[in-house]
Amino acid sequence: MKEEKLPTGLVQVYTGNGKGKTSAAFGLALRAIGRGLKVYIIQFIKGGFDYGELYAIKELPNLKLEAFGHGRFITEKPPREDDIKSAKEALDLAREVIKKGEFDIVILDEINVALTLELVKIQEVVDLVKEKPEHVEMVLTGRNAPKEIVEVADLVTEMREIKHPFKKGIPPRRGIEY
Ligand code: ATP
Ligand code: MG
């Protein structure tokens, strides 16, 4: 496949309480690798959970994924030290990958949740957005995107829940929700 580069990399945010944020990011990744772009997906908080995409990406070229976290839902505020540590590791990797500029699209999945839980400082992410190489596209997902993140983004989509099967007692389905 011919290697391509984006002339201008933008900053996209998929937020809101409705389903589809992570799926949208993976859909974008699929389109991008079809055009020879290189995509790096870094997942905050999700490490240790079993998602279908972890198996699918093994089959795809130019797509890397690394998940951080401990396989449990975080609710505590202030957060636990080990959760802060793995979010920091995820952000350090994001910084390294973005600054190197070797990957055309860097997806920071659930980073908005890490920001809301105060695992990562908003200013650190704002700085990263401002310092990114011109050609690198960043995609930030997760509900409750902080206003500072929305401000520095070029594209913001809010998935708004109108209906979700969970509400009528249908549990998460393998292959659809995970
Ligand atoms: P998906 O990963 O399916 O694209 P998402 O990224 O928009 O969804 P998250 O907020 O990351 O959703 O939610 C994590 C998990 O909860 C996912 O498995 C998702 O399908 C599910 N989920 C999303 N929205 C809701 C909702 N309104 N109620 C219950 N579960 C939800
Ligand atoms: Mg998600």
Q: What is the pLDDT of residues 115-170, one digit of tens each?
A: 999 999 999 999 999 999 999 999 999 999 999 999 999 999 999 999 999 999 99
Q: How many CB atoms lie within 10 A of CB 49?
A: 15
Whether 157 maps to a domain, the answer reads: no
Distance from C-alpha of 159 to C-alpha of 116, rounded to nearest angstrom: 17
Whether 145 maps to a domain, the answer reads: no
Whether 28 maps to a domain, the answer reads: yes
Q: Which ligand is nearest to the CA of 169?
A: 1
What does the DSSP 8-state code read for residue 11?
E
In the structure encoding, which two tokens stand for residue 150, read together? 């929305």
Q: Which ligand is nearest to the CA of 24?
A: 1
Q: What does pLDDT average to over the chain?
A: 95
pLDDT of residue 46: 87
Whether 5 maps to a domain, the answer reads: no
Q: Which secondary-structure segment (H or E) carries 93? A: helix 81-100
164 within ligand 1 shell (Cβ under 6 A): yes
Confidence grade of residue 47 (pLDDT, cut at 50, 70, 90): confident
What is the distance in A from the centroid of ligand 2 to the CA of 21?
A: 5
pLDDT of residue 59: 86
Whether 104 maps to a domain, the answer reads: yes
Whether 71 maps to a domain, the answer reads: yes
Whether 170 maps to a domain, the answer reads: no
Q: Which secondary-structure segment (H or E) carries 55? A: helix 52-56
Question: The domain that contains 48 carries what CATH number?
Answer: 3.40.50.300
pLDDT of residue 99: 98
Domains contained in the chain, number? 1
Q: What pTM was estimated for this model as a whole?
A: 0.94
Distance from C-alpha of 93 to C-alpha of 100, rounded to nearest angstrom: 11
pLDDT of residue 122: 98
Give the burial string for 8-37 (b: 16+ CB within 10 Å, else e): ebebbbbbbeebebbebbbebbeebbeeeb
Confidence grade of residue 75 (pLDDT, cut at 50, 70, 90): confident
pLDDT of residue 1: 64
Whether 114 maps to a domain, the answer reads: yes
- Which residues does 128 contact at the CB level (< 8 Å), separation at least 6? 91, 94, 95, 98, 138
Domain range for 55 is 11-135
| Rounded-to-5 percentages of helix, strand, coil across the chain | 40, 15, 45
Confidence grade of residue 82 (pLDDT, cut at 50, 70, 90): very high
